[in-house]
Structure 1
């Protein structure tokens, strides 16, 4: 039983190398939240203009097809 415990413990040690420390993880999450917040502000301001542009293009296509 002790051998099984050691085998499991030593096989899990390399997995800890792939998990970043909490300090860098929180900095990463904070950076991602900031990027999402800034892109959301831009997307909300650009959305009405994109809708207007698409409606103008579709209206011009409909007008030329008549």
Structure 2
């Protein structure tokens, strides 16, 4: 069991190099929140048009398949 623990632990160590430190993630998350907050009003305004377009695409796809 101890050998399995060490095998898993040492195989996971290189993966920690790909995970950025938390202090770098804070700026990234803040930027994403700001982007979503600013784009929300445009998304809400465009939502009915997008919904209509997607429904027309699905309607034409399913009509052609029958």
TM-score by length of 1: 0.55
Deviation by residue 1:2-50 (Cα, 9 ceiling, x = unmatched): 3322211110101111211111111100000011111123x168x28xx
RMSD between aligned alpha carbons? 2.5
- Which contiguous aligned blocks of 4+ residues in structure 1 show a shift greater than 6 angstroms? none
SS in 1 for 2:20: coil
Q: Name structure 2 gaps, 5 residues minimum.
A: 50-66
Aligned equivalents of 1:28, 1:37: Cα separation in 2: 14
Note the 1:36-55 alignment, pairs <5 A.
36-41=36-41, 43=42, 47=45
SS in 2 for 1:29: helix
Q: Does the alignment pair 1:2 with 2:5?
A: no
Q: Does the alignment pair 1:25 with 2:25?
A: yes
Q: Name structure 1 gaps, 5 residues minimum.
A: 52-66
Count of residue correspondences: 47
Return the index of the structure with the highest Cα Rg: 1
